[in-house]
Amino acid sequence: MQAKRLVGKVTVTTDDGSAGQRGWVTDPLPSAIERLGAQIVYACGPMAMLQAVGEVAKAHAIPAQVAVEEAMACGIGVCMTCVLPVRGADGVSRFVRSCIEGPIFEAGRVRWKMSRRCPPIYMARTDGWPLMVNLSTSLASFDLPNPVLTASGCAAAGKELSQFFDVADLGGIVTKSIMMRARSGRPTPRMAETPSGMLNSIGLQGPGIDSFLANDLPWLREHNARAVVSIAGGHTDEFVSLAKRCTPAGGPDRGHISCPNVENRGRVFACDAIAAARVISAVRRTAHPNVPIFAKLSPDVTDIGYIARAVADAGADGISLINTLLGLSIDLDTMQPALVVSPAD
């Protein structure tokens, strides 16, 4: 009724014909464009429908502005679950955040074939309690005003959190894992809900060490945040190079050794006691003696204690438990995994 008050004519379509005409919403769209002499199309709805609307608009040589429904979790651009592959003005396709750069996009720039529909996520908000006691603590030689640190990957480098509170109030910010080169991450969708919880497959998307040192680290210093720099690599030399460049930061390094080891047929470092110890030992020799080193371990092993002892003996000052648990969700409509990981990953 509201739509009829705003426009001269409303066309209703349903797939079963229970209301209006039977068919897809895109069925009457071509004739409506021609009848009205439309110069642009606006649409919101399921991703497959938006793709079809974009194709109709393209066939009529007019633009289409679409409001995407990519799954959003944090809503502030930190978690990277709502990314969408979009072609920029320079012709290069990049993953952009629907909640920040969107959710309105020009349909012709969205790489629809690289994206699939993902159900929405609803997040609850909780309020914290004021600190009433002395919560100061330390991690090895790293002194903290309180034991609250961000989880790596959940708060990027802290910039997005600063709109809600002073990041210096946190005990520390564990950065999203930094690699030698910029990484676009895995294809979308990257998140799926299950009865047992949420699955995610981000793929270590990040700007790389050069951008981190030029942009993120200076911002953390400017805001008096205590940083724990999480580093990740595909072989031992990458961890060493990252540790050398991060050491002047003055905060701890955390070796994210739950990464594939390209030197050992892609086997995860943290699932191999010898490989894990080799990485920690190499980083320990490289980093300043006063910089604590923590090893982030994977739960996907038969004896995590054995791996922990190996990295401790290799020079780790502490252990970070645990990295993501493996999981699988099957879409019963397509009988395919809800989250697709390419063979290269």
Task: Say if 101 falls within a structural domain.
Answer: yes
- 8 assigned to some structural domain: no
Tell me the per-residue pLDDT of 303-314, one tens digit each, with 9 for 90 and over.
999 999 999 999
d(CA 167, CA 162): 6
**Predicted local confidence at residue 341, as pLDDT:** 66
Separation CA 280–CA 294 (nearest Å): 8
The per-residue DSSP string of 116-182 comes to -----------------S---EEETTEEESSS-BPPTTTSTTSTGGGGTS-GGGSSBEEPPPB-SS-
282 and 167 part of one domain = yes
Contact 223, 168 (CB under 8 A): yes
Tokens 């959190």 found at: 161
Average pLDDT rounded to a whole number, residues 260-280: 79
Per-residue model confidence (pLDDT) at position 289: 85
Range in 13-22, 48-57, 193-202 the model is least confident about: 13-22
In a domain, 341, yes or no: no
Tell me: do 110 and 202 sit in the same domain. Answer: no
Of 11-15, 54-58, 98-102, the range with the lowest mean pLDDT is: 11-15
Statement to judge: residues 105 and 166 lie in one domain: no
In a domain, 57, yes or no: yes
pLDDT value at position 251?
Answer: 54
Same domain, residue pair 246 and 285: yes
Q: Are residues 94 and 141 in the same domain?
A: no
Q: What is the pLDDT of residue 121?
A: 31
Structural domain boundaries, residue 67: 20-114
Q: pLDDT over 90 for what percent of the chain?
A: 40
User: How far apart are alpha carbons 66 and 73 in whole angstroms?
Assistant: 20
Query: Does residue 120 carry a pLDDT above 70?
Result: no
Give pLDDT, residue 262: 52
Residue at 175 is within a domain: yes
Lowest mean pLDDT among 66-80, 159-173, 176-190: 66-80
Among 79, 114, 149, where does a domain finish? 114
The answer on 171 and 275 residing in a single domain is yes
Please tell me the distance from the alpha carbon of residue 278 to that of residue 293, in angstroms, as a whole number: 13
Confidence bin at 257 (pLDDT 50/70/90): low
Least confident of 13-22, 189-198, 269-278, 301-310: 13-22
Q: Where are the beta strands (DSSP E) in 179-310?
A: 191-194, 197-200, 227-231, 253-256, 260-261, 267-268, 293-296
Q: Domain total for the chain?
A: 2
Q: What is the pLDDT of residue 94?
A: 85
pLDDT for the residue numbered 224: 92
What distance in Å separates the CA atoms of residue 93 and residue 179, rounded to the nearest whole number?
21
Distance CA 202, CA 223 (A): 27
Separation of alpha carbons 9 and 7, rounded Å: 6
The pLDDT value recorded for residue 261 is: 52
Interval 72-98: pLDDT, tens? 778 888 888 888 889 888 888 888 888
pLDDT confidence tier of residue 265, bands split at 50, 70 and 90: low
User: For 281-292, what is each residue's pLDDT tens digit?
Assistant: 999 998 888 889
Catalytic residues: 259
Q: Please tell me whether residues 171 and 292 are part of one structural domain.
A: yes
Whole-number average pLDDT of the chain: 83
Task: Tell whether 128 is covered by a domain.
Answer: no
Where does the pLDDT of residue 123 fall: very low under 50, low under 70, confident under 90, or very high at 90 and above? very low
> What is the pLDDT confidence band of residue 150, given thresholds at 50, 70 and 90?
very high
**Encoding tokens for residue 261?**
């080891």
Determine contact, residues 225/158, Cβ cutoff 8 Å. Answer: yes
How much is the pLDDT for 115?
A: 62
Same domain, 141 and 110: no
Mean pLDDT score, 25-29: 88
Task: Give the CATH number of the domain where residue 299 resides.
Answer: 3.20.20.70
Judgement on whether residues 175 and 298 belong to the same structural domain of the protein: yes
Tokens of 126: 């909780």
Q: Residue 88 in 3-state DSSP?
A: coil
The two structure tokens encoding residue 251: 């905060």
Residues 223 and 293 in one domain: yes
Cα–Cα distance, 26 to 56 (Å, whole number): 8
Considering the chain, what percentage of its residues have pLDDT values greater than 70?
85
Contact 84, 96 (CB under 8 A): yes
Specify the pLDDT at position 140.
Answer: 86
CA 32, chain centre distance (Å): 39
Residue 239 falls inside a structural domain: yes
**Is residue 49 located within the same domain as residue 173?**
no
Same domain, 104 and 167: no
pLDDT at 222: 94
The answer to the question of residue 246 being in a domain is: yes
Name beta bridge partners: 202: none
* Residue, of 158 and 123, whose pLDDT is higher: 158
